[in-house]
Amino acid sequence: MTEHLRARSAREVFDEHLRLSNEGRFAEDIERNVSPDCLVLERRGVFRGHAGVRQLAQWLSAELPGAHFTYTTVRLEGRIGFLEWTADAPGVRVRDGADSYIIEDGWIVAQTIHYTVETAAES
């Protein structure tokens, strides 16, 4: 990693993470924006480091193949970020996505993730 990436503001990291994630560029996002020591809390457990984040990205891609994501709330205050999102994919959707972030020294160092996958026919 180059030093200039570690000197980025929390806003720069957060914005790039959202852009790359929305473009489905998970591998690039992980390398550039996620700390190798990142801790992620998610309903299925505690995930650590790049391997844990990759696993979560693989599950999300499998659960929502070809999804279109919409960011409905994006907040950042200092080093703390909050994101609400929805997603639509063939036959499935998410209406309650919510993630929180801690960003330090140009890295996402901690994250929480919540979402419920529904069949598109559910209301």
Q: For residue 16, what are the CA distances in angstroms to 22, 93, 120?
A: 10, 24, 29
C-alpha dihedral over 112, 34, 87, 42, to 10 degrees? -30
Mean pLDDT of the chain: 94
Residue 123 has pLDDT above 60, yes or no: no
User: Taking the CA of residue 113 as centre, how many other CA atoms within 13 Å lie in the half-sphere pointing to its CB?
Assistant: 21
Q: What is the pTM of this model?
A: 0.90
For the stretch 5-18, pLDDT in tens is: 999 999 999 999 99
User: Does the structure show a pLDDT above 70 at 1?
Assistant: no
- Per residue in 56-96, pLDDT (tens digit) is 999 999 999 999 999 999 999 999 999 999 999 999 999 99
Quick one: fold of 3-119? Answer: Nuclear Transport Factor 2; Chain: A, (3.10.450)
Domain boundaries, the chain: 3-119
The DSSP symbol for 9 reads -
| 25 contacts 91 by C-beta, under 8 angstroms | no
Question: What is the rounded distance in angstroms from the CA atom of residue 2 to the CA atom of residue 45?
Answer: 31
Report angle CA 56, 58, 62 to the nearest 5 degrees.
Answer: 115
